Amino acid sequence: MQNFFVNLNRPFKIFLSTLLVFGVIAGIFTFNHFASAQNDYKKIGIVNASEGNYASRRLIVWGTHQEPSIKISTYDNAKRDVKVDVYKISKDELLNFLTYTVDNNELYKANVPDVSKLNKITTLDAKGGEDKTLLPIDGQGFWLLRAYSSDGEQTFSAVVRTPIGTVAKEGNNEIILWTQNIITGKKVGNGTIEIFNLKDKANYLAESQINTDGIAKTSQLNNADVGFVSTSEGQTILILNLPNDYYNYQTFNSPRINTKYLLFTDRPLYTPGDKVYFKAIIRNDNDAEYTVPTGLATVKVYKDYNSTQPLFEKKYSISANGTIAGEYLLDESAKTGTYQISVDLGAESDREWYLRTVANFNVEHYRKPDYNLEATAMRDELLKGENAIFNLSGKYFFGQPVSGGNVHYTVRYSTNQYYTEENLEYYKKYGYSWYYGENELKSGDVELNNKGEAEISVPTSSLPNGQFSILSLEATYQDESGNPVRASKNILIRGSQYSIKAGDYEYSSKVGQSLS
């Protein structure tokens, strides 16, 4: 089931009042804050002051607990004396304002209202810049705002102020709607939701009843623009013309079964001439109900993401367990670099990129090392001034020590004011010198003894006082054939015996809340 709080705009067909969804936390409920961006680049715009940005909105929705304030934005940085007319409007006038037309270029054009027929309640001198203009509206209802300047510029926004919010989700060939009071957090039942298409005029499509649990359902999927929610606790408008995902630029639509894969190779790295063994586990995903598919799956291997020229392509029968497995032989002359292997069922060509999966592997000229180098530390944590002792051990893979081997090492340190007791284990394991910078403390060469072992002692008295430091060793051994191996180890150095920290990391608190 898909949640439609997020608006994914249709390319090249952006409705002039494309309706966006925002959340305002009220109690335990996230309020649907519907607004619409005006994309006609007017020189003045009406901005919802609570949003914290300068996007002009054709529709602003506030909870009755929110301050009804706006800001005036200008797109050409010109200083203008802007006035705002405030009109009280009805449900029908609100829907009429939100209607649109589509021209021959399939561009959406918003309706310009005839304000001479509306009930104007006041005119305000609007403030510009960061200053807010408080609207003289109270309680719940619908209003229309007209902002205009003496040079003929004007823009419109509708305001809905309501104590309720409704969420729309897609079910199996239906839209599921849930209404809740944003002040109390309780469900709101026993009401109606009227579905409208707004092209050219407010076209009534269907009506759904809200049950006692606050839930309503409608099968009106493809051409619904808005739903008008009416309950005993209040009224609101619900935006329904939201595309359902990045791959289907449509509104709520009939559901389609997706495919999930787990694709992997036996190794991440190969040399030219190796065999690449692969396996995929495949499941059909019908709204989180998984089944085993049947038929054939196509496997392709290609290089550098060039899927139009596959190096290998073959169809495999899907087993009763929903798996396929196979192998691909790399040419002896295969180029080095990154390769991709993909699997898809080929059931829907229009969604091939969505209904497939891709895994990567690398091809390089390499030789497996005959030995291993390991670095350990006598202690993982030290106080500044103590010697850090690192131990190296080199062994061939058949068990014999690498005796007499010359190991080059470098010890570096990094300091960071953000080291805390909670994340020190992470820093000790991985270090962060690659990000915060590092300083060389000691370097040199050491010879492995007849047991393949060596010890490196590093004084720490020169490290900064009063700070945590991460000491990082990197050791490299390379035999006569030029085949190197590396080992690394991190140690934590405390700048003092004690550290002071705050026990509460909250950035904000309620009035009267105790902090420790």
What string of DSSP letters covers 49-77? Answer: TTS-S--BBSEEEEETTS--EEEEEESS-
The token pair at 489 is 């180890």
**Highest mean pLDDT of the ranges 140-154, 436-450, 460-474:** 140-154
Tell whether 311 is covered by a domain: yes
- Residue, of 163 and 491, whose pLDDT is higher: 163
Q: Hey, what are 275's tokens?
A: 């065999």
Q: Is the pLDDT of residue 369 over 50?
A: yes
11 lies in some domain:
no
- Claim to verify: residue 359 and residue 383 sit in the same structural domain: no
Using alpha carbons, list the distances in angstroms from residue 504 to 347, 372, 413, 513: 54, 45, 29, 12
Has residue 36 been placed in a domain? no
Residue 207 inside a domain? The answer is yes
Examine residue 430 and state whether it is found in any structural domain, yes or no: yes
**Predicted confidence band at 39 (pLDDT cuts at 50, 70, 90)?**
very low
pLDDT of residue 416: 64
Phi, psi for 203 (deg, rounded to 5):
-95, 115
Average pLDDT, the chain: 81
The verdict on 479 and 386 lying in the same domain is: yes
pLDDT given at position 309? 92
What distance in Å separates the CA atoms of residue 141 and residue 123, rounded to the nearest whole number? Answer: 18
Q: What is the pLDDT, as a whole number, of residue 109?
A: 82
Q: Are residues 392 and 481 in the same domain?
A: yes
Could you tell me if 376 and 485 lie in one domain?
yes
Nearest by Cα to 317 from 334, 292, 349: 292
Same domain, 285 and 353: yes
Name the phi and psi angles at 335, rounded to 5: -75, 150
Task: Using DSSP bridges, classify how beta strands 356-363 and 2-3 pair: parallel, antiparallel or unpaired.
Answer: unpaired
The number of domains in the chain is 4
Task: Report the CATH number that the domain containing residue 415 is assigned in CATH.
Answer: 2.60.40.1940
How large a percentage of the chain has pLDDT more than 70? Answer: 78
* 41, pLDDT greater than 70: no
Structure-model confidence comparison of residues 307 and 33, the more confident one: 307
What pLDDT, on a 0 to 100 scale, did the predictor assign at position 127? 72
Task: List the domain range (segments joined by +) for residue 298.
Answer: 258-363
For residues 154 and 170, state if they share a domain: no
80 and 194 part of one domain: no
DSSP letter for each residue of 428-467: HHH--HHHH--EEEEEEEEE--TTSEEEEEE--TTSPTTS
pLDDT tens sequence across 69-104: 998 887 766 677 889 999 999 999 999 999 988 877
Q: How many CB atoms lie within 10 A of CB 244?
A: 18
Which domain CATH number covers 342?
2.60.40.1930
Angstrom distance (rounded) from CA 471 to CA 439: 10
Question: pLDDT category, 144, cuts 50, 70, 90?
Answer: very high
Classify 283 as helix, strand or coil.
strand
Are residues 56 and 129 located together in one domain of the fold?
yes
Q: What is the pLDDT of residue 7?
A: 30
Q: Per the domain annotation, does 25 fall within a domain?
A: no
**Residue 86 maps to which CATH number?**
2.60.40
Q: How many CB atoms lie within 10 A of CB 416?
A: 17
d(CA 48, CA 30): 18
For residue 42, being part of any structural domain is answered with no
CATH number for the domain spanning 210: value is 2.60.40.730
What pLDDT, on the 0 to 100 scale, is given for residue 442?
A: 93
Top-ranked range on mean pLDDT: pick from 27-31, 174-178, 201-205, 466-470? 201-205
End-to-end CA distance of the chain: 42
The answer to whether position 22 is within a domain reads no
> Would you give the DSSP letter of residue 380?
S
Mean pLDDT along residues 143-162: 92
Answer yes or no: are the C-beta atoms of 123 and 83 closer than 8 Å.
Answer: yes
Q: What letter represents residue 249's amino acid?
A: Y
Domain-terminating residue out of 95, 127, 162: 162
Contact 18, 37 (CB under 8 A): yes
**25 pLDDT higher than 70:** no
Q: Are residues 228 and 281 in the same domain?
A: no
In this predicted structure, the answer to whether residue 397 has a pLDDT above a threshold of 70 is: yes
The reported pLDDT for the residue numbered 493 is: 87
Q: How many CB atoms lie within 10 A of CB 287?
A: 12
pLDDT score of 167 more than 50? yes
- DSSP assignment, residue 37? E
**pLDDT at residue 202 in the model:** 94
Boundary-marking domain end, from 205, 239, 273? 239
Beta strand ranges found along 4-140 (DSSP E): 17-26, 29-38, 44-48, 59-63, 69-74, 82-89, 100-102, 108-110, 119-125, 133-134
Q: What percent of the chain has pLDDT over 90?
A: 50
H or E stretch covering 92: helix 91-97
Q: What is the pLDDT of residue 345?
A: 87
Q: Which of 378, 402, 400 lies closest to 484, judged by CA?
A: 402
**Whose CA is closest to 356, among 270, 293, 416?**
293
Residues 375 and 487 grouped into a single domain: yes
Same domain for 459 and 418, yes or no, is yes
Which of 239, 269, 302 delimits the end of a domain? Answer: 239
Q: Are residues 215 and 108 in the same domain?
A: no
- Give me the pLDDT at residue 29, please: 30
Residue 96 phi, psi dihedral angles, 5° rounding: -65, -40
Higher-pLDDT residue of 498, 409: 409
